[in-house]
Amino acid sequence: MLVGLASAARAEAQIYAWKDANGNMVLSDRSRPDGGEVRTFEVPGTQTVRVTKAEERVTGSGRARFDDIIDEHAQLHRVSPALIRAVIQLESGFNPWAVSPKGALGLMQLMPATARELGVDNPFHPAQNIRGGVTYLRRLLDLYDQDVPLALAAYNAGPGAVARYGDVPPYRETQEYVRRITTATRPAPPPPPSVIYKWLDVVNGRPIVRYGNKPPAGTAHEVVGRR
């Protein structure tokens, strides 16, 4: 769990991260008060740092606030918006303040070195983070000749791991990562064809025409429509 706070910071904000006595991840703009081991992350160009609980997820209409950014960069970089959304969902649960134990940051969980290389000054800024993440994903798709599972494996485990094995690495986390995203973005199967049946039913000695989407048992019928 991340401890929630909102505090003023320098233009070149330093975020300090550590685990408290209960094993909770703490993020702050001030160093650990007991002098214990911390990890630090620079967030250039930001005046404030706001951290929310890691388990909180943006749901429903909250996610819609990222739609325009996702669609813009999906079109610009020729990456499926569904793929981008699935990556964000699995990486951060649409939490723009997410920080992983390994130090990955923001919506698309950019490592600090990768963020700098992609020109992302503030990885907690949704537009910058998505731009950087989609740019990197596009590079990986091009590197692996549009092979989505390999690109996803490299996004999760690094291109070196993919090169080492020549395929999706046999890491449980990476294989589950690839499986979940490819499953989430797989097109839904078409619905079964709808068939309309017609038959005669006798009620009080009078024949009545019936229609239905299931054939009547033991009664002559005909197909009068398909979809």
For residue 11 the two structure tokens come to: 């233009």
CB-count exposure of residue 83 (10 Å: 0-12, 13-18, 19+): buried
Nearest CA among 135, 168, 131 for reference residue 152:
168
Q: Write down the number of H helices and E strands in the chain.
A: 8, 8
Lowest mean pLDDT among 23-37, 83-97, 100-114, 189-203: 23-37
Tell me the sheet residues that pair with 42: 14
Global model pTM greater than 0.85: no
Known catalytic residue at 72? no
Query: For residue range 53-76, what is the model confidence (pLDDT) as tens digits?
Result: 333 344 444 578 899 999 999 999
pLDDT in tens, 46-59: 544 444 433 334 44
In whole numbers, what is the pLDDT of the chain averaged over residues? 82
**Minimum mean pLDDT range among 98-112, 124-138, 156-170, 206-220:** 206-220
pLDDT confidence of residue 74: 97
Question: What is the strand order of the sheet 221-226 is part of?
Answer: 206-212, 195-203, 221-226
Name the residue with higher pLDDT: 112 or 223.
Answer: 112
User: And the tokens for 87?
Assistant: 């990556």
User: Nearest to residue 109, comparing CAs of 164, 156, 52, 165?
Assistant: 156
Domains annotated on the chain, with CATH: 1-56 (no CATH), 57-189 (1.10.530.10), 195-226 (no CATH)
Tens-digit pLDDT profile for residues 125-136: 999 999 999 999
* pLDDT reported for residue 186: 86
Percentage of residues in the chain having pLDDT higher than 70: 74
pLDDT tens sequence across 143-194: 999 999 999 999 999 999 999 999 999 999 999 999 999 999 988 777 777 8
Cα separation, 149 vs 127, in Å, equals 25
Helices 67-77, 126-143: axis angle to 10 degrees equals: 30
- Give me the helix-helix angle, 81-92 and 126-143, nearest 10°: 110
List 91, 173, 176, 222, catalytic entry: 91
Give the pLDDT confidence score for residue 199 in this predicted structure.
87
Q: Inform me whether the pLDDT recorded for 30 exceeds 80.
A: no
Residue 54 has what pLDDT? 37
- Give CA–CA dist 42/194, Å, rounded: 58
